[in-house]
Structure 1
Amino acid sequence: MRILLIEDDKAIGSAVREHAAAGGHAVDWARTLSTARDYAAVAPYGLVLLDLHLPDGNGIDYLREMRDRLDATPVIILTARDQISVRIEGLNAGADDYLVKPFDLGELSARIHAVARRYGLRPEPIFSLGTLTIVPAERRVDRDGQTVDLTAREWAVLDSLLRRPGAIVSKTQIEDALYSFGSEIASNAVEVYVSRLRKKIGADRIATVRGVGYRLAVT
């Protein structure tokens, strides 16, 4: 899942991003609401982790903006403000959950999974491509009846292709998915991870469109 983390504290933001990435999630970290708006304008997210006290505004105002434009992306509020009145305000504004700092990262993972299960009631496609089965909701890939182990970044590449099965996905779009893990990537990172993915799911499953990008072969 791709997560938008809105948090201005460097230590907390870094810890949350690294923990979520270790769990297989791609995380875009915005330290201001302005940056968060820029990220949200160009990328779809499965979850928002939202601090309330930010350099350029109040997180609850950002949450209200989301709901006013009918953005139903799940939101978990992360804040040091533990007053009941603030919790009620956040939940009434449309938050799905509320976690008070300091919190255990294991508890955060449990909250993320709980929200994911809650929204998992919406139908998720299962891709059957010959002997290959891909279940995005479970981040599971089976080939010839055997589970294929993918790294977080290999899954990020596959997820980029799954968003538009059969259509061309540009190299830049795949690079954006890899960059969202928060560390620098080599100039040939896309080629490297596509190559690794091909070895695991089958070379014929990812077609190269020279000079443009890649596409997931669905026939």
Structure 2
Amino acid sequence: MSMGYLVGEDAPVVWRGLMVMKALQQLLHEVDWGGLDVLVLDLPPGTGDVQLTITQQVVLDGALIVSTPQDIALKDAIKGVNMFRKVSVPLLGVVENMATFHCPHCATETPIFTSASAQTFHSRFDELGVPLLGQIPLHPRICADADRGKPSVVAEEMDSPNVRAFETVAAKVAAAVGLARAEHSISDKLQESQDLNHLFPNLKSPHEDMLIQKEY
């Protein structure tokens, strides 16, 4: 779902603050999201009405900062860190976007930004106590996958470097919000329930009600 669907394809979103807040309320509360495990909100850069409205309208598990190592982008990213901390939203970590360029022909990996910019990027987030969750390369295949509407994790081979980069970030985010622990716990309880049913076929598992609630 996108705010772009609320206007024409070529129409600019020229809205005042109140209109933006109303549109966000509709997206958050009037869309039939179905049974989701995770809902990811892709926010524009900055610390304006959009970010503040979302932090007031929903309880967030955390914020993920995505930035290139470029100096100006880094300044905006740090402002975002400070804003989310001010409104008591946990910081899950930071993702370094366009960390390197991967040549599709010779597979050479070349840094796009200066080594000084990359070092500053890492040191500043270390000082802020925000962990680096991963580095996403600038690769023509990622761009082509996005243009076709198929994420690289679906369109590419499972062992490709692009897929591994995204999966590394996803696994760390899942662990940070407790999703991985919850799935592990459910798996353990299902196994425990199966063991009890095998030993005592007529005995109801003490976890049966809880497992039903988990499914819904």
TM-score of the alignment, normalized to the shorter chain, above 0.5: no
Please, what TM-score do these two structures have when normalized by structure 2?
Answer: 0.39
Please identify the structure whose Cα radius of gyration is greater.
2
Structure with higher helix content: 2
Q: Which has the higher strand share?
A: 1
Higher relative contact order (CA 8 A, sep 6+): 1
With normalisation by structure 1, the TM-score equals: 0.38
